[in-house]
Amino acid sequence: MRAGSGGLSGPVVELGARVRFGGRIWTVAALAPGQVQLVSESGEVAALLLSRLFADAEFEVLDAPRMSRVPPLGLMESLPDAVRERALAWERHVREVETGWPDGGGAAGEPRAEYDPVRTLAQREEAKAVELSDAGIPTSAVTVRRMRSRYRQQGVWGLVDRRATRVRSVHGRADERVVAAVQEVLEAGRERSDGTLGRLRMYTERLLAERYGHGVVKLPSRAAFNRLVHALGDGQGLLGSARQRRWRSARPAPPFVPTTVMAPGELVMMDSTVLDCFVVLDDGVVERPELTISLDVATRSICAAVLRAKGTRSVDAAQLLAQMMVPAPMRSGWPEALAMEHSVVPYKRLLSVDSRLEGAAARPVITPQTIVVDQGNVFISSSFIAACESLGISVQPAPPGNGPAKGHVERTFSSIKTLFVQHVAAYTGSHTGERGKDAEGEAVWTLTQLAEMFQEWIICGWQEREHDGLRHPLMPRCALSPNEMWAALIAVCGYVPVPLGHEDYIELM
């Protein structure tokens, strides 16, 4: 083996070189194109491909200078500038000690006298330590020797200050036994009523005493303990109100991938909620109404809506199917601007395909393929499922108590509250603390009147409003309205009218 054979500065496999292969020491006896013949110390002969030799996990050319490792450039770039420059400076110092030249062996010019290769390594290490100390960097020969060792093992990364690469724990220097106990107490309290951090500290202390003995493991100070609790619980949904903890625990465990839909009707969500306002029923009773909607996930369109006195029935859910699959007619008193022919929807082109769109309001006609519903009796009733089956629609029940499974429609209810309901007379707020002194006495709208206003608001206040979650593939920076998104997707996926017969429509209604 010759380190500089053929002008190469790294290890070379040549005649007479000693190599490690298969856990044994061999000598190269012959070389042929792509092949090598090895002789072991016991006289055993082996012929194999060079690729097989180089692929061996323990392959090494013995008695040869190690090649400099390729520096981990990505990691080096992530370091602070001062730390990176210090490591690169140490690399030049180490090279000068080992070869005589800061840029490595073979550099032009003569080495400095202190680092001439004719001197021993110990002398060169001592000279480097004196040089750095004189430059204001206190260094000993032992430090230089240690840096040389790190450089041989890890390359320039071994010269990086370890304090800059130290992985910091989210819970600091807390005892791992305390961390485990706090985590266990937090998990056990997920379904319990709210309590203070003082109660949590007492439970943790009790658990440690039972597991390790009284006084063996001491808790940190109260302030440090509270910081540890927040570090462990905030990101896992283990703190907050009992309601928040239950909601977060219902989310699927990560990693999970949200459902992506690319066509109108591919995924539709149905749900009901009680509105935060009072209406006057036919018998004069003042009560909060219940709203049931169907939301198309791809376009965020409110395809249909039914407003009833509290207690939605299965026939109301079936009515949503009838509403969303036929054009919404213009109603008496509505301005002409709400008509589909005046919207962004390609009305004339669609009219040639579906004549039912003549005189329709600017609300999309969407035929659902899959409907996501909760486990309420309204949506899993035999009549609703039978209606969906007759129309070729798949019904997908959401897991019980899993709000995120139908998060789009839940978020839409929140938007309806802020954009519509809070402007209605007799608005109640989300809870009694937000309710006015005489909210019931402010009720002036009947259920029918409020339903009429809501249908009009859907067309002019929701379908034409920009939605941050709707983006055109060719214009990702521009937010679209539900109607604009419907027009864009219809151009890609097409529009296929599914007319309902008179008997089918009446049956659903």
CATH (domain of 48): 2.30.30
Paired sense of beta strands 394-397 and 467-472, if any: unpaired
Q: Are residues 446 and 323 in the same domain?
A: yes
Range of the domain at 184: 176-249
Check if the beta carbon of residue 179 is closer than 8 Å to that of residue 171: yes
Q: Are residues 299 and 378 in the same domain?
A: yes
Distances (CA, A) of 46 to 24, 51, 497: 12, 14, 76
pLDDT value, residue 255: 52
Q: Are residues 324 and 418 in the same domain?
A: yes
List, as one string, the DSSP characters of 449-493.
Answer: HHHHHHHHHIIIIITTS-EEEEEETTEEEEEE-HHHHHHHHHHHH
Q: How many domains would you assign to the chain?
A: 4
pTM above 0.85, yes or no: no
Q: Are residues 477 and 339 in the same domain?
A: yes
Residue 68 covered by a domain: no
CA–CA separation, 22 and 305 (whole Å): 74
Phi, psi of 208 (to 5 degrees): -65, -40
Query: SS3 for 436?
Result: coil
CA–CA separation, 316 and 441 (whole Å): 29
Residue 170 covered by a domain: no
Q: Are residues 51 and 25 in the same domain?
A: yes
- Out of 125, 142, 165, a domain closes at 165
Q: Are residues 218 and 85 in the same domain?
A: no
Q: What is the CA radius of gyration of the chain?
A: 38
- Out of 116, 141, 165, a domain closes at 165
pLDDT per residue, tens digit, the chain (509 aa), is: 444 444 445 677 788 888 888 888 889 888 888 888 999 888 889 998 988 888 888 888 876 655 555 556 667 777 888 888 898 899 889 888 888 888 765 556 788 888 888 888 899 999 999 999 998 999 999 999 999 888 888 888 788 887 776 656 666 677 889 989 998 988 888 778 888 889 999 999 999 999 988 888 889 899 988 888 888 887 676 787 777 777 666 666 655 566 788 889 899 999 889 999 999 998 888 999 999 999 999 999 999 999 988 776 767 777 788 888 888 888 888 888 888 888 887 778 777 777 778 888 888 888 889 999 887 777 777 778 888 888 888 988 887 766 677 888 989 999 999 999 999 988 998 877 778 888 888 888 999 999 999 999 999 999 999 998 898 877 788 899 999 998 888 887 876 666 565 566 556 65
Residues 6+ apart with CB under 8 A from 271: 292, 293, 373, 374, 406, 409, 410, 413
Residues 6+ apart with CB under 8 A from 443: 277, 278, 279, 280, 286, 425, 426
Distances (CA, A) of 38 to 15, 56, 66, 228: 10, 14, 22, 61
Residue 256 covered by a domain: no
Element (H, E) at 121: helix 121-134
Secondary-structure percent of the chain, ordered helix, strand, coil, rounded to 5: 45, 15, 40
Residue 255 covered by a domain: no
Element (H, E) at 130: helix 121-134
pLDDT value, residue 391: 81
Q: Are residues 245 and 305 in the same domain?
A: no
